[in-house]
Amino acid sequence: MIPIRDTIRPRSIPVVNHLLIAVNGLVFLVQLTQGAQLERFVFTYGLVPARFTNPELAAYFGLAGNLLSLLTFMFLHGGFWHILGNMWSLHIFGDNVEDRLGPLRYLVFYVACGWVSGLAHMMLNPSSPIPTIGASGAIAGVMGAYFVLFPTSKILTLIPIVFIPWFVEIPAVVFLGIWFLLQFLNAAGSHGAATGIAWWAHVGGFVGGIVLLKLATRLPQAGFSRRLRAMTPQKTSHRLQLVRPQASPETPHIFGGVRITPFEALAGVRKIVSIPSGFSKRTVRVTIPPGTQDGTTLRLRGLGRRAAGGEAGDLFLKVEVERW
């Protein structure tokens, strides 16, 4: 299962979430320049539990160096697929959590989740000399917060069946519940850091995110956050949309809807819609012309049901322009 996006669109552009993704990307580029020094670089800026429990290592790196690693480890990654998977998850779940908390509270929350995940890993692997790196723990905290804040949301998920892309919306509580269960089972079945994946950091981050969310919501929201939200309204809707067509018993035509923003209605936009067709789904591009009004109906010929004579009906898409 590959998550594509959630169904809840944030009210404003997630500036901090975009910034976190950018910083992770820049740090990864720095890693790529290390060459033969990469292992030393990772050991210096990664989270190594033995540096806190081994007196010689603790003295060598010093208090400042060890405390710094509690922050820097969550911006390092072990490879392209590692950072791609982490940043994609952050992109899907982080924007809505930032939208609910506000930019500054979200930044504090994200870093705190990373700390909690790192501490959970150190508590269960106190003498491990293996560096732990990655934003997984902090992102697990964001997913834990999403689990609590958006229980009615759905995750648009791609399930590849041979060469046929199947898109299905899975309730967020189910998707994240399964994810957490897998992390816990892997953590319980692992032996220390032998697997190379800090499973307990994922578990600790997720649980920590749920707990820290309660604390974060009690923090006062800065006026800067309100001004930033007003300056960065979300101007685009989801590019990929699922159509849940209603059929007419008298005709082979089917009827559905597509949502766009006022900006998209004014400027025009192209959307990708996925339409159920028997046991499969068809994915088509839909062009919404500039100046489209709320309630406008678009006609897509040949995308309806098959009539008794073999002729295909049409799909009628009603355009809904969101209110800001």
Final residue belonging to a domain, choices 202, 231, 260: 231
Final residue belonging to a domain, choices 196, 211, 231: 231
How far apart (Å, rounded) are the C-alpha atoms in residues 24 and 47? 16
Beta strands in the chain (DSSP E): 2-6, 154-161, 164-171, 240-242, 246-247, 254-260, 269-277, 280-288, 297-300, 315-321
How far apart (Å, rounded) are the C-alpha atoms in residues 95 and 143? 11
Per residue in 198-235, pLDDT tens?
A: 889 999 999 999 999 999 988 877 677 777 777 777 78
For 157, phi then psi, to 5°, come to -125, 135
* Percent of the chain whose predicted confidence (pLDDT) is above 90: 61
Nearest to 118 by CA among 205, 243, 38: 205
pLDDT in the model for residue 164: 67
Whole-prediction pTM: 0.80
pLDDT in the model for residue 196: 59
User: What is the chain's mean pLDDT, rounded?
Assistant: 89
- The number of folded domains in the chain is 2
User: Among all chains, which residue has been given the structure tokens 């322009």?
Assistant: 321
How far is CA 97 from each of CA 30, 169, 182, 217, rounded to the nearest angstrom?
A: 28, 20, 23, 11
Residues 6+ apart with CB under 8 A from 65: 44
Which structural domain range is residue 67 located in? 2-231
Residues 6+ apart with CB under 8 A from 87: 21, 24, 25, 135
Q: Residue 266: which CATH number?
A: 2.60.260.20
pLDDT in the model for residue 247: 85
**Residues 98, 67 within the same domain:** yes
Residues 9/238, Cβ–Cβ less than 8 Å = yes
Which residues face 274 on adjacent strands? Answer: 242, 283
**Residues 140, 201 within the same domain:** yes
